[in-house]
């Protein structure tokens, strides 16, 4: 097998495991999330089609969330967060607001995040949970 084939196989395998990795990260922060009232058993991961042109009409985006009462709980789990991660969460938030017409409570769950992005997330109303805030 060529190096290109090996890299392609690796990337394909990783993308198949993406959902498992996201749930693993969420579960690793179970105590912190439960202390904020999150019901982990309700979290689901579904693909939403952008039919409003928020990103691009027809674009499919995986979103972890659950609906409870008049709120939507949105989750983005990553190993590291930066500006683009916050942007990804804001795009998902807008898609859910448009789809459900409900208040969205957003959670950014990461192992590490630079302090300036942690502060930005909080300023934007995102509940950031991290193992390490990098100075």
* pLDDT per residue as tens digits for the range 82-125: 999 999 999 999 999 999 999 999 999 999 999 999 999 999 99
Structure confidence at residue 16 (pLDDT): 67
The reply to whether the predicted model has a pTM over 0.75 is: yes
Q: Dihedral of CA 31/78/46/87: which sign?
A: positive
Structure confidence at residue 21 (pLDDT): 87
Parse the chain into domains and list their residue ranges. 3-133
**HSE-CB of 8 using CA atoms within 13 angstroms:** 5
* Fold for the domain defined by 3-133: Trna Endonuclease; Chain: A, domain 1 (3.40.1350)
β-strands 127-134, 103-114 pairing: parallel
Q: Which residue has the higher pLDDT, 19 or 104?
A: 104
Residue 72 phi/psi, 5-degree rounding, is -115, 130
Structure confidence at residue 78 (pLDDT): 94
Residues 6+ apart with CB under 8 A from 80: 110, 111, 112, 113
pLDDT digits (tens, 9 = 90+) for 37-74: 999 999 999 999 999 899 899 999 999 999 999 999 99
Structure confidence at residue 15 (pLDDT): 65
């Amino acid at each position: 097998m060529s190096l290109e084939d090996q890299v392609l196989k690796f990337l394909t395998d990783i993308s198949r495991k993406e959902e498992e990795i996201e749930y693993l990260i969420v579960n690793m922060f179970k105590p912190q999330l439960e202390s904020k009232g999150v019901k982990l058993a309700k979290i689901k991961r579904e693909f939403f089609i952008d039919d409003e042109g928020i990103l691009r009409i027809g674009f499919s985006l995986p979103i972890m969330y659950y609906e409870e009462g008049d709120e939507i709980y949105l989750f983005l789990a990553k190993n590291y967060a930066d500006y683009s991660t916050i942007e990804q969460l804001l795009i998902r938030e807008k898609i859910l607001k448009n789809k459900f017409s409900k208040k969205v409570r957003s959670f950014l769950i990461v192992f590490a995040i630079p302090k300036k992005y942690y502060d930005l997330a909080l300023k934007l109303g995102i509940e950031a949970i991290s193992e390490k805030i990098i100075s």
